[in-house]
Structure 1
Amino acid sequence: MTDDPGRSAFERRSTPPGRGRPNADSRPVVAIDVDGVLNPDRPSTARALGYLPHHYDGPSPTGAQVTGVIWLHPQHGAWLRELADQGADLVWCTSWGQLANSWLALRLGLPTDLPVIDVGEGGGVRFGRQPKLGPLYRYTGQRPVVVLDDEIGGKDPDEATRRTAAGTPTLLVPIDPGIGLQRAHIDQVATWLRSLPARAEVHHPPRRPATRTRHGGLEPRVKPAGGIHASGAHPGAPWSDRVVPAPEPEHGVDEEPTERLSVGDPVLRKSRLLSRQCDTCVFRPGNLMQLSGGRLRDLVNQTLRDESFIICHETLPYAGPANNAVKPAICRGFADRYSTQALQVIERLFGFVEVDPPTITKSPESDGTVADETRH
């Protein structure tokens, strides 16, 4: 299909990738949330700032009938069109879904066929991240992207910095939900858009050699630290060569096993994550695992370089005779402190299932050391 010459420039720019232009288009994308951005959550403040009330009586994104007041600013549509006039494509990234086009767009003076990112019921921050960004980034690929949202996780800015450094300019614009989108936000985005190259280079990171698994997926075959093969959420997960088991005590293991570990639940097709830190977590104070100086630091640095994660030592097959009930799971101490590509991919594409760590019971003759503990 080709662009209709009779359509306006704005309408042509708003066409989703694949409709009227190639998918590799490098035009920047401005992703727009609704609640807290276009619809502030403080009515008294909204009225003072020039927002107008609009009565809504219709289906919610889930299909339930809802009634309420939506506060919209009469200038927001014009402000957003300014960004489109600078060459940006506007998209909805909101749990409103298609209602943003069918109900909001008419009242804001925006086209009623803007692309809508499927974020489900969306909203909220989990594990320090805004879940809507996953489907948004998959949609935009390597195109520059601006995010206008009132809920941005504490780990999201670091990811935006990494994306930008890797050749995908990413700007997060946090919005105060009490006052919503302001002129200063539009000016910030406009300045950022002007700073972009005329046409961004598409960056293709090098791919590592891979082999075909027995499940049919492609899986790199590299032995990680510790001499153990490990895998992520499901067979063929691309990070499966970069998983690091948490260390055992210096005297704890004479010979390391070489079986392939997996934190993936084959039934739920989610990755196991401990619901809390285990009793001897290497991230607890006191060096409970009696690690030599600098070993934990080296382990963490290696894992961060590999963009991977750490498997809890208490869930490893050789952790204890009563460990069979707890399968390998991601260390909660690591996941709560660090964000890596592997953890991000698992969360956005597959999800986690939380499992309790093994409980540790001291034997009657125990002298209080780790070696005298049993796990069950």
Structure 2
Amino acid sequence: MRALLFLDVDGTLLPFGAVGPYPVHEPAVPLYEPGHPLLTRVDPALGARLRSLGCALVWATTWGEDANTVLSPWLGLPRLPLVDWPDSDEAAETGLHWKTRPLVSWAAGRPFVWVDDEVTEADRAWVAAHHRGRALVHRVAHQVGLTDADFAVLEAWLARGEE
């Protein structure tokens, strides 16, 4: 069963909070006009790298449909499924990230990777205790977004699932 890869945007694909200027990237598709003022911070090469992981990519972001209309073309990705977030925020009382329970529910036992800049050990422990499949909850440094080191972690985890 192909693993899911839940993708956050802000702080994961779109870096923020760093000191100094951010790199400015050109679009993957020639003549594509950015639909968001910060989109040039997102390296369009990340699209090919994410596809090369062999996972089923899923937007796990508050960007909603904008992830498909703005980010997918920038990254050279097709339209991706979107996680539909609940209206309540019961996780605030438990110390969990508000995405944790919905993502485990969405995965429905399938193996998954969740890349986000806000996950904590509490989220990892909850996923380990409540998800019946393999899962990697990986924190990304929001100042730089996904890096080669992050991809090495994802690739190693995915390779272990094929053994």
| TM-score when normalising by structure 2 | 0.82
- Counting matched residue pairs gives 154
Unaligned runs of 5+ in 1: 1-25, 58-67, 199-376
Aligned alpha-carbon RMSD (Å): 2.7
Report what 2:85 is aligned to: 119
Q: In structure 2, what is the equivalent of residue 186 of structure 1?
A: 151
Higher RCO (Cα < 8 Å, 6 or more apart): 2
Greater C-alpha Rg = 1
Q: Per-residue displacement from partner, 1:80-126 (whole Å, max 9, x unpaired)?
A: 01112xxx111000000111111100001111x21110126899x72
Deviations 1:119-141 (A, max 9, x none): 26899x72321111222111111
What amino acid is aligned across from residue 29 of structure 1 in structure 2? L
Give, as a single letter, the amino acid of the residue that structure 2 aligns with 1:192. W
- The match for 1:29 is 4
Percent identity among equivalent residues?
A: 31
Offset at residue 187 of structure 1 (A): 1.6
CA–CA separation in structure 1 for the residues paired with 2:14 and 2:97: 19
1:46 aligns to what?
Answer: 22
Deviations 1:295-319, CA, capped at 9 Å, x for gaps:
xxxxxxxxxxxxxxxxxxxxxxxxx
Change (3 A) 1:52 1:134: farther
SS at match of 1:131: coil
Inter-partner Cα distance in structure 2 for 1:106 and 1:40? 18
SS of the residue corresponding to residue 48 of structure 2 reads helix
Whether the 8 Å CA contact 1:29–1:143 is kept in 2: the answer is yes
Which stretch shifts more, 102-111 or 34-43? 34-43
Amino acid at match of 2:111: P
Q: 2:83 aligned with 1:83, yes or no?
A: no
The residue that corresponds to 1:174 in the other structure is 139
More helix as a share of residues: 2
Shift of 1:197: 4.5
User: So what's the TM-score if we normalise by structure 1?
Assistant: 0.37
Shift of 1:176: 0.7
Mapping of residues 304-343 of structure 1, within 5 Å: none
Residue pairs, 1:247-266, within 5 angstroms: none
Q: Is the 8 A contact 2:5 2:113 kept in 1?
A: yes
Q: In structure 1, the residue corresponding to 2:53 is in which secondary structure?
A: helix
Partner residue, 1:158: 125
1:52 Cα deviation after fit: 5.7
Q: Which deviations, in whole Å up to 9, do the C-alpha atoms of 1:22-81 show, x marking residues without a partner?
A: xxxx3210100000001111463532xx65697545xxxxxxxxxx42321132111101
Q: Considering fraction of residues, name the structure with more strand.
A: 1
